[in-house]
């Protein structure tokens, strides 16, 4: 069983796959016990469905300075 299938079987609400070499993120959300791809990209922002008020620019995942700025403004 892959990690993807395992998380789906255990009903983990949200799953992100991060490809650092391509700087792309895929965001999957659990709907009816199956993951649905709701975001795939390297531009724009990504919003968590599992963590309230958590949105960050995709670029912040790959850039430490942007990550620190995004996390400093996060409030749960």
**Quick one: which of 60, 59, 2, 63 has its CA closest to 28?**
2
Q: pLDDT value at position 73? A: 79
Q: What is the helix (H) or strand (E) element at residue 9, kind and residue range? A: helix 3-9
d(CA 48, CA 21) in angstroms, rounded, equals 22
pLDDT at 65: 93
Question: Can you give the pLDDT at residue 53?
Answer: 86
pLDDT given at position 1: 73
pLDDT digits (tens, 9 = 90+) for 28-75: 999 999 999 999 999 999 999 999 888 999 999 999 999 898 888 776
11: left (phi over 0), alpha (psi -120 to 50) or beta: left
* pTM of the complete model: 0.86
């Amino acid at each position: 069983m892959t990690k993807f299938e395992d998380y789906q079987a255990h009903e983990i609400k949200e799953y992100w796959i991060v490809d650092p070499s391509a700087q792309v993120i895929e965001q999957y959300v659990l709907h009816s016990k199956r993951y649905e791809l709701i975001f795939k990209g390297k531009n724009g922002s990504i919003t968590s469905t599992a963590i309230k008020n958590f949105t960050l620019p995709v670029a912040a995942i790959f850039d430490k300075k942007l990550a620190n700025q995004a996390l400093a403004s996060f409030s749960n």
